[in-house]
Structure 1
Amino acid sequence: MKHYKQAIAALLLPAALTTVVQAQQNTTITATIKDLPAGQWVYWSSQGGDDRRDSVQTTAGGFTIKTNIAPGEADFYIIKIGKPYGEHNVILYYLDKGNITIKGNGPQFKDAVFGGPQFVKDNNDYAATLKKAPGLQGRAELYEKMNKLYAEKDSAGLAALQPEMERMRKESDSLTKQWILQHPASGIGAPLLSYLSDMTLEEKESIFNKLSASAKENGPAKRLAYSIRVNKLTGIGSMAPDFTQNDTLGKPVSLKDFRGKYVLVDFWASWCVPCRGENPNVVAAFNKYNSKNFTVLGVSLDQPTGKEKWLNAIHQDNLTWTHVSDLKFWNNAVAKQYDIRSIPSNLLIDPSGKIIAKDLHGDELEKKLAEVL
């Protein structure tokens, strides 16, 4: 399912990378979409970490968005027509200064064509590169089919398409890497690089260092630079940075309190379905090895209003180890300190405080513990 979600993100990118504002200059997005009725709400929000949400109503056949973004804060935005998520009503959009147009015959954003400044032209060139690639023919149809199977909860059908989807994803990643290296001054280079799924941060750093200074003046580039810095501090073989956060009773707990034991720092949340699905594996490992100098420290990314759900999930899933959280969702201080961008995620620390493994899921966790204990 992880790669399926990445595939959907990859599908959105070529059609969506299209705007951002440096400086406090006005950005206007003018959409002309055939048969789009008046009176619908269009919502847009930044993916860069701020909580701003804006909206505007459609007129007959289109809508206009006007916004301002601070210097160096160019970023991905989600633009969505209506509140429910539908097949063609949402798009991931990279905003930069200038006047951007969206034209299409509908429904909604289906087959929309973008026009505007250089970053839009770069995006169109990148999209054309993927579209004409022999190895990616039929990709849109494949993703549409996977969307349908996902909606129908057809796991067998999705599994059957997985090998071809994986092949196309790898082909797309390869072409994306080539495009970035051929356009080192493009503002969409770092955003594209951030979406390459199977590339290590070390590999991304090598490409990132080849981009021009101006190409790094946007949100995705800054986040990637931060991830690279944190990775050097929290990579396998590094000493795990200490942290302190309150447990379920409000008592401060520090990572250093576990020195002398093998400890799995497990990032999860009660609302995270994959996390809840992984919990039985963590429980099995804890029950098997907790008498052999091993324990777990759960760090929850539950929301400010989610304490009861957090506590209920601990009880329901039989998570009988120490748990901490500041209940700040994705702004959890420990998650940000360790640059955790998806969950479930974990890291295994040895008795000296050194990180010896990361993201051990399923049988991988048990195998690693059997190796070291």
Structure 2
Amino acid sequence: MKFYSIIIFYLLTTAVCNCQENKRILGQLINYDSIKLDTVFFTNGFLDIKYYNQPNKKGVVENLKFQLRNNFDYPQLYYVSLESEKNRVLFRGQQFYFDSLTKSVIIDTIGGNSKIIGPSQNEYETKFTNFFLKNSAQNGFESLEKYRFLRGEEFDQELNEYVKKNPNSFVALWNLIDRYNSNGHLKIYEEILHNFSEELSQHVLWKRINQSVKNDRIKEGGIFPNYTFKNQKLKPESLKLPKSKYILIDFWFSSCKPCIETFPKLKRLQKKYGEKRFEIVSISIDRTQNVEKWQNSITKLKLNWKHYLDENGVEARKDRINKFPTTFLLENNGNIIYKNITIDKLEIYLNKKFGF
């Protein structure tokens, strides 16, 4: 009897293990008119792979069908791409959430009718999206992607409110990771992090982004780092702040149209307040092949302030400076007052400080 009990136990446990190992997500492409054989990729996009236990998954497409192995330990955020379009599209912007209960996925190759059957994606498509677009008729946004891109500051504030009401949400945590990856350190991100539940804050995903935020070199309220860059003569030089009451650090590059469009206004503010009150330091992230263009741009645009070169953006990438221009307003002791202050807000701030 004991022998038979052992056999039965072995068969049951083997069946459970095999069931878990063989869990599959069934996939399908729709509105697809390319080659019959293809490969679909679910990737981490631009997010750090340290947040994933599976940064990449792929399925071979035959007759518009594919399968993925479902072995997720916790919900994962992916972006999708196809082998057949790799020379045209790096990955698509729509977010896809997979978890251990995800059963199927439909990829609409030309429209917005992609669909995943699973609790995490369901939260994203209904509860999460509706929370942000509840006033879509007034704000004119039809998709969360556009709202997140065009109204980032508002999105961050709304994300904080969503977390307060849904402190166990992995969807919200992944969106925080995405925003942090795009913008680097902001005070609001620290606040959002600490509004998650005690339970979620014990999870490895929360711990990893929390550690990243703690280790950031550039923080509002902190001291701007003592970088070493190249000067205009391409010699190594430690960054030295001018002896002004306020300093604007401006990250840019010579082909950045929005960066160049800010210079006339910055030149006007520099002239208005004088070097003892307000000064500018520009740091270019130009590539090696564009260094001469950077040097010529400084002369052509008559940018009469200190310039440094972070060649190929090596240091900028370390500090998640991914959008340009990116600015930091400092006090004369190097303390960071504001990140990405607009020119209009900068002028209002200086007006209040100096009375004109």
Which of the five TM-score ranges fits, normalised by the shorter chain? 0.5 to 0.7
Q: Distance in 2 between matches of 1:145 and 1:131?
A: 8
Q: Given that residues 130 and 175 in structure 1 are in contact (C-alpha distance below 8 angstroms), is that contact kept between their aligned partners in structure 2?
A: no
Q: Shift of residue 228 of structure 1?
A: 4.9
TM-score (norm 2): 0.65
> 2:225 pairs with 241, 251, 255, which one?
241
Q: Shift of residue 347 of structure 1?
A: 1.9
> 1:200 pairs with 188, 200, 203, which one?
188
Aligned residues: 313
Equivalent residues in 2 for 1:145-294 (5 A)? 173=159, 176-178=162-164, 180-181=166-167, 183=168, 186-194=169-177, 200-208=188-196, 210-213=198-201, 215-217=203-205, 222-223=208-209, 225-230=211-216, 234-236=219-221, 238-255=222-239, 257-258=240-241, 260-261=243-244, 262-292=246-276, 294=278
Q: Given that residues 27 and 98 in structure 1 are in contact (C-alpha distance below 8 angstroms), is that contact kept between their aligned partners in structure 2?
A: no
CA deviations over 1:33-68 (Å, ceiling 9, x no partner) = 234234367565532247x99998854425567899
2:323 is aligned to: 342
Q: Shift of residue 259 of structure 1?
A: 5.5
* 2:81 counterpart letter in structure 1: K
Q: Given that residues 36 and 62 in structure 1 are in contact (C-alpha distance below 8 angstroms), is that contact kept between their aligned partners in structure 2?
A: no
Q: Percent identity?
A: 19
After superposition, the Cα gap between the structure-2 partners of 1:145 and 1:209, relative to the gap in structure 1 and judged at 3 Å, is: closer
> 2:28 pairs with 26, 32, 36, which one?
32
Q: Shift of residue 260 of structure 1?
A: 3.1
1:113 is aligned to: 115
Q: Distance in 2 between matches of 1:313 and 1:27?
A: 58
Q: Distance in 2 between matches of 1:32 and 1:341?
A: 34
Q: Distance in 2 between matches of 1:240 and 1:56?
A: 46
Q: Shift of residue 107 of structure 1?
A: 4.7
Rg: which structure is higher? Answer: 2
Q: Distance in 1 between matches of 2:226 and 2:123?
A: 45
After superposition, the Cα gap between the structure-2 partners of 1:180 and 1:145, relative to the gap in structure 1 and judged at 3 Å, is: closer
Q: Distance in 2 between matches of 1:176 and 1:213?
A: 16
SS in 2 for 1:37: coil
Q: Distance in 2 between matches of 1:357 and 1:131?
A: 30
Q: Shift of residue 30 of structure 1?
A: 5.5
Q: Shift of residue 32 of structure 1?
A: 0.3
Q: Distance in 1 between matches of 2:252 and 2:22?
A: 39
SS in 2 for 1:258: coil
Gaps spanning 5+ residues in structure 1: where?
1-24, 151-157
TM-score (norm 1): 0.62
Q: Given that residues 329 and 337 in structure 2 are in contact (C-alpha distance below 8 angstroms), is that contact kept between their aligned partners in structure 1?
A: yes
SS in 1 for 2:342: coil
CA deviations over 1:141-193 (Å, ceiling 9, x no partner) = 9545999xx9xxxxxxx9xxx9xx89x96996476324531x2xx54342133
After superposition, the Cα gap between the structure-2 partners of 1:287 and 1:103, relative to the gap in structure 1 and judged at 3 Å, is: same
